[in-house]
Amino acid sequence: MNTPLRRVGMAMMVMVLLLLGNATWVQVINADEWRKNAYNRRVLLDEYARKRGLITVADGTVIADVKETTDRLRYLRTYNAGPVYAPVTGYLSVTYGTSGMERAENDLLNGSDDRLFARRVSALITGRDPVGGNVQLTLNTKVQQTAYDQLTAKGFTGSVVAIKPDTGEILAMASTPSYDPNLLASHDVNAQAAAWKQFTAKDANDPLVNRATQALYPAGSTLKVVVAAAALADGKNKDSQYTAKGSITLPGSNTPLPNFNGTPCGPGETVSMETALAKSCNTAFGEMAGQVGANKLRRQAEKFGFNDPDLEVPLVVETSTLGPIPDEAALYQTGIGQRDVQITPLENAVVAATIANGGKRMQPYLVSKILGPDLKSIDDTEPDEVDTAMSTANAAALRDMMIQSEINTGGEGRLQNVQVASKTGTAEHGTDVTKNNPHAWYIGFAPAQKPEIAIAVIVEDGGDRGLGATGGKVAAPVGRAVMNAYLAGR
């Protein structure tokens, strides 16, 4: 009986070998597939249990902190002035994942980024827990706070983005309604769930969406600066004449294209580009866009940063586009920022900043420095000039026209002793423009001759003015206050 017994022994060894082989497959060779499976919360939980890096703003104020706890997750993420910075910081939730900077810089904050490799190895050797790196943002406390206060004071739904024109640093990025990320970072699962339910409720108006980067709006009249830039590049100047009619018919159709309230742009048959921009005449700009042509207009828009699907600041930014522009009528409508034009508040701020910077477009960015756990700088962001959108002379000409526009714009809160260049917009949207309140836009920069801050403001659905809202009445005061906060605090 010994032969079969030996064979049974062989069979037993084969079984163990099979198990070992399979374990090698599961645990070693194919491990990554299981480890990185979306259902596998182990890796996530481990990262949460690590001391996460801090997020600070330009002056060093900590806006995302960590607090040691006694529970299993060990560290609690806390946000200072949560709702003010929430669009940028995002949230860190065990149940609902991450968003904003917490997601974009997750590897760095949780310490698994390659730039922290040396520190990780030393942590491994010394047996200490690996610690995340810190992120320092370009945000300016005062500007950010003002932007948030301005939007919330009147209960606006909207967004403010402020950019330093010569570097591309984002000085403020506010979005309202906002939320308190502390509630989602709570280690109490039920509190998290309650907060999530509250934030995602139908009537909550999407507080979790960062409108500055994630929301696309019709650009309205603010796009006229892009059309003007295209016309200037096409050889026109501020005195080039365009129709002054109160209303024109779109080519190839019976649809009218009226000015605001149907008012003629000037006393004569024609009007200069400067006046047309200052008075925001739709008829003139429809014609201007028609003359420039779809291709040149599109190229000009791309030089300002449209059609860039890869833009990250490092928050992912939705792509702004002019739309397909299938015919001449669409081109006219595109010329006044309607039809299929879609733009993020961030991109509109980039347009303003580019004009302010003499036509040179700087890459917008939020992270100024990456710091190691020991607060030593690992990586500094250098300003990056990505494109030349306009010649210096054309940019100066456009700036001068925008100064006239600011003078022509109503609204409160005009800046004393500081010259501002701006453009307003009142963007119609929805199917029935007589019932849907228009979005109010305001883009601009100051001081006009030596710009230090460029901004874009959008207030959704007319803010507090309803159907009668205009960019000048609703959005301009917000923009001016934000610029003032920066310039006054210099």
Partner 1 sequence: MLSFAAGLVTLALILVELNQERSLSLRILYLGLAYLGLFACAHLAVRRWAPYADPVILPCVALLNGLGLVVIHRIDLAMEGTVFPDGSTWDPMAFKQVIWTAIGLLLFAATLKFLTDHRTLARFGYTFGLAGLVALMLPGVLPGFIAPEINGAKIWLRIGPLSIQPGEFAKILLMVFFAAFLVSKRDLFTVAGRRFLGMDLPRARDLGPLFAAWGVTVAVMVLQKDLGSSLLFFGIVLVLLYVATERAAWVVLGLGLFSGGAIVAWKLFGHVQQRVANWQDPISRYELVGGGYQISQSLFGLATGGIGGAGLGAGRPEMIPEANTDFITAVIGEELGFIGFAALLLVYMIFALRGLRSAIAVRDSFGKLLGGGLAFAVCFQVFIVVGGVTKLIPMTGITAPFLSKGGSSLLANYVLVALLLRISAAARAPQRAPKPKPQQPAIADQHTVMVERPK
Q: Which residues form the catalytic set?
A: 221
The number of beta carbons lying within 10 Å of the beta carbon of residue 249 is 13
Least distance in angstroms from the C-beta of 164 to partner 1: 44
Cis peptide before 83 (omega within 30 of 0): no
Binding test (CB under 8 A) with partner 1, winner from 12, 153, 194, 204: 12
> Would you tell me how many other CB atoms lie within 10 Å of the CB of residue 14?
10
Region of 33-41, 378-386, 390-398, 419-427 interacting with partner 1 (CB under 8 A): 33-41
Question: Using the rule CB under 8 A, is 125 a contact of partner 1?
Answer: no
CB 319 within 8 A of CB 343: no
Sign of CA dihedral 304, 306, 307, 309: positive
* CB closer to partner 1 out of 17 and 433: 17
Q: Which is nearer to partner 1, 22 or 237 (CB)?
A: 22
| DSSP β-ladder status, 134-137 and 55-56 | parallel
- What string of DSSP letters covers 470-486? -IIIIIHHHHHHHHHHH
Q: Does residue 324 have a cis peptide bond before it, meaning omega lies within 30 degrees of 0? A: no
Judged by CB under 8 A, which stretch of 36-44, 97-105, 362-370, 453-461 contacts partner 1? 36-44
The closest of 136, 114, 112 to 48, measured between CA atoms, is 112
For residue 5, state whether it binds partner 1 (rule: CB under 8 A): yes
Query: Which residue's CB is nearer to partner 1, number 25 or number 260?
Result: 25
Q: For partner 1, how many residues bind (rule: CB under 8 A)?
A: 36
Q: Which is nearer to partner 1, 11 or 125 (CB)?
A: 11
Nearer to partner 1, 19 or 153 (CB): 19
Minimum Å distance from CB 14 to partner 1?
Answer: 10
By CB under 8 A, residue 37 contacts partner 1: yes
How far is Cα 453 from Cα 466, in angstroms, rounded to an integer? 29
92-111 per-residue burial string, b: 16 or more CB within 10 A, e: under 16: bbbebebbbbbbbbbebbbb
Quote the CA–CA distance of 181 and 425 in Å, as a whole number.
Answer: 32
Q: How far is it, in rounded angstroms, from Cα 113 to Cα 370?
A: 11
Check residue 393 for interaction with partner 1 (CB under 8 A): no
Q: Which is nearer to partner 1, 6 or 450 (CB)?
A: 6
**Contact call for residue 122 and partner 1 (CB under 8 A):** no
Q: Is residue 467 near partner 1 by the rule CB under 8 A?
A: no
Q: How far is the CB of 25 from partner 1 (least distance, A)?
A: 8
Q: How far is the CB of 122 from partner 1 (least distance, A)?
A: 18
Footprint (CB under 8 A) of partner 1, residues 44-73? 45
- Catalog residues that contact partner 1 under the rule CB under 8 A: 1-9, 11-13, 15-16, 18-20, 22-24, 26-28, 30-35, 37, 39-43, 45
